[in-house]
Amino acid sequence: MGFWRETVLHLRLRIQYRVMRIPLWLKVIWTACVIAWIPLYWHQYGPQNFLFFCDLGNLFITAGLWLESPLIFSWQAASLLLFQTLFTFDLAVAVVSRMHLIGGSEFMFDPQIPLPIRLLSLFHVVTPPLLLWAIWRLGYDRRGWKYQTLTAWIVVPINYFWHPESDVNWARGPFFHEQRAVPGLLYLLTYLIVVPAVIYYPTHRLLKWWMWRR
């Protein structure tokens, strides 16, 4: 309830004082792109694809832009900054050398995937600087990594059982390959403990340090 109460409070303050810290043009362009992105991605990949953290992030960021919520941006930064930055690096190297040093951006060069889908997928590149700019602009909320941990604890078990062949968020194995080394539920439990500990919390500490340096 605290999150929704705070969200309503933010909205009331924005209406009351009419202070806009995020430009209207940015809100409109991002929202328009998301509106175009949803039906195209749904048709191409199916509804389960929207449970990828990067795709969920588009929806949360839309809300964060309009509400100008530090919590939402901090929440999504804990989830997306590392992976989206690695995606951007891999894509940039591949554009220059046709080599994928990390992997994950191969689909951007797949002619079987319609060009509009690939162009809209460039949101992976836009997301990291947008999140950092929004946090710089609005402030950092230290609860973000905890909200993302709770999100993972809800979403990843759904990924494990629903459309398991898609391996959304690597719920059944890393790099979209179902692992066989340990029982599946043991892997799932380990995932839900390790990922917050080695990704979300360190990202939180880094962002907290960055904002303190400011």
The tens digit of pLDDT for each residue in 107-135 reads: 999 999 999 999 999 999 999 999 999 99
What is the 8-class DSSP label of residue 139? -
Which amino acid, one-letter code, is at 145?
W
Q: What pLDDT score was predicted for residue 11? A: 63
Q: What pLDDT score was predicted for residue 207? A: 97
Task: Please compute Rg for the chain using Cα positions.
Answer: 18
Nearest to 131 by CA among 199, 60, 201, 200: 60
The full DSSP string for 140-171 is: --TTHHHHHHHHHHHHHHHHHHSSGGG-GGGS
**109, two tokens:** 């060069």
Q: Which residues contact 159 (CB under 8 A, 6 or more apart)?
A: 48, 51, 166, 167, 168, 169, 171, 172
pLDDT digits (tens, 9 = 90+) for 78-108: 999 999 999 999 999 999 988 888 888 899 9
Q: Is residue 187 within 8 Å of 179, Cβ to Cβ?
A: yes
Instruction: Tell me the mean pLDDT in the region 30-59.
Output: 96
pTM of the model: 0.87
CA pair distance 156, 171, nearest whole angstrom: 6
Q: Is the pLDDT score of 212 beyond 80?
A: yes
What phi and psi, each to the nearest 5 degrees, are found at residue 19? -95, 125
